[in-house]
């Protein structure tokens, strides 16, 4: 039996989720400005709740503590060197699992739920990017069926761009 449960985020837990994501962001990217919320988090409701493709998951342990997050947004085509085939493309964002709950299948379960949602929404391609310094991230996404489509430096970070056709 899993020691966690996964559910979609609604307004009732949105503020807690945003604070959790910001804590994870500070841990993973200490070099970034953390005084201002990124656009998607500042407009969480409009981005993840009100949009047809917007979707955000939270994972909680048996004591209802937040232990993981994962989001999906419509891809905004901001990387001109990427070319996706026709159809709806969505971007997988903000995967973070509390270190004490890693290697238990939680992230894979969250990705499975996100993929089910994406298929239901008639999304054809999932896009994401990751960075080599995020230990284990690249290998995890490969195991989840993603493939590398480009490797480039972006905003001072070596960046691996990946996709998964649905």
- Are 16 and 10 in contact, with CB atoms under 8 Å apart? no
**What does the pLDDT read at residue 91?**
97
Sign of CA pseudo-dihedral 120, 87, 92, 1:
positive
Alpha helices, DSSP H only, in 100-153?
Answer: 106-120, 137-143
- Domain span at residue 94 reads 4-165
- 48's CB contacts (< 8 A; 6+ apart) are 9, 14, 40, 54, 55, 56, 71, 73
Strand-strand pairing, 55-61 and 4-8: antiparallel
> Distance (Å, rounded) from C-alpha 88 to C-alpha 71?
16
**Global pTM?**
0.92
> Distance (Å, rounded) from C-alpha 70 to C-alpha 56?
6
- Are 70 and 81 in contact, with CB atoms under 8 Å apart? no
**Using one digit for the tens of pLDDT, what is the confidence trace for 135-162?**
899 999 999 999 999 999 987 889 999 9
The pair of three-digit structure tokens given for residue 162, joined into one six-digit string: 């990946």
Query: Structurally, how many domains does the chain consist of?
Result: 1
Domain holding 152: CATH number? 3.40.630.30
> Distance (Å, rounded) from C-alpha 102 to C-alpha 104?
6
**Using one digit for the tens of pLDDT, what is the confidence trace for 20-70?**
999 998 988 878 887 889 999 999 999 999 998 999 999 999 999 999 999
**Using one digit for the tens of pLDDT, what is the confidence trace for 63-114?**
999 999 999 999 998 898 998 876 799 999 999 999 988 888 999 999 999 9
H or E element at residue 22? helix 11-28
**What does the pLDDT read at residue 5?**
93
Averaged confidence pLDDT in the chain: 92
């Amino acid at each position: 039996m899993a020691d966690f449960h996964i559910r979609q985020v609604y307004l009732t837990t949105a503020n807690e989720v945003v604070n959790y994501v910001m804590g994870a962001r500070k841990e993973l990217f200490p070099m970034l400005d953390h005084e201002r919320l990124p656009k998607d988090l500042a407009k969480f409701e409009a981005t993840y709740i009100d949009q047809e493709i917007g979707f955000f998951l939270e994972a909680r342990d048996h004591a209802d503590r937040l232990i993981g997050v994962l989001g999906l947004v419509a891809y905004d085509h901001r990387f001109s060197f990427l070319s996706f085939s026709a159809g709806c493309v969505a971007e997988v964002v903000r995967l973070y699992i509390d270190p004490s709950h890693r290697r238990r299948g939680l992230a894979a379960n969250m990705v499975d739920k996100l993929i089910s949602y994406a298929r239901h929404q008639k999304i054809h391609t999932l896009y994401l990017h990751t960075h080599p310094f995020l230990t284990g991230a690249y290998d995890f996404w490969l195991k989840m069926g993603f493939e590398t489509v480009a490797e480039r430096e972006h905003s001072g970070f070596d960046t691996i761009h990946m996709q998964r056709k649905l």
